[in-house]
Amino acid sequence: MKIKRKLSIGILSLFAVLSLATLTSMSTETKETNAFLEITLDIKAENRGNAAAVYLKYKQPFLNTIAGATSKELLIRTEDVQVLHGFKSEDEAKAYLTSKLFENDVVSELKPFLEGNPEIRIYTVFKK
């Protein structure tokens, strides 16, 4: 009986720690997306894994350090690869294109895999 009780207390303690860790890692700030930056990349199929690695490497730094960043998604289709960035404002989307993270890190690491110049578009979200 004592072993079952100790086991139950241990499991409950572990559950409490995991729950607390999950809750503290969740952001209570709501980030409203009002603009999207879409970058379309012409990358051969055999190089898409390398491009995806660059995306994964810089996704969290983008979300943590770029002003107004709300999201970043990698979209893959047969013709090309797109990276869709969400921002609080159109101005913040434009500013990202001249940031150190974009110019020095992301562009330089993706350059060897590009078959042509990227297409860059910024969209504003329609709100009623």
Give the pLDDT confidence of 5-62 residue by residue, as tens digits. 544 444 434 333 334 333 333 444 568 999 999 999 999 999 999 999 999 999 999 9
Cα separation, 63 vs 74, whole angstroms: 14
- The residue among 94, 100, 96, 109 whose CA lies nearest residue 52 is 109
Find how far residue 77's CA is from the centre of its chain: 18
Tokens representing 102 are 């974009």
Average pLDDT, the chain: 84
Q: What percent of the chain has pLDDT over 70?
A: 77
Q: What is the pLDDT of residue 13?
A: 41
CATH number for the domain whose boundaries are 35-124: 3.30.70.100
Q: What is the pLDDT of residue 16?
A: 39
Q: What is the pLDDT of residue 4?
A: 52
Rounded mean pLDDT, 96-114: 97
Rounded mean pLDDT, 98-116: 97
**CA end-to-end span of the chain:** 63
Phi, psi of 78, deg, nearest 5 = -60, -40
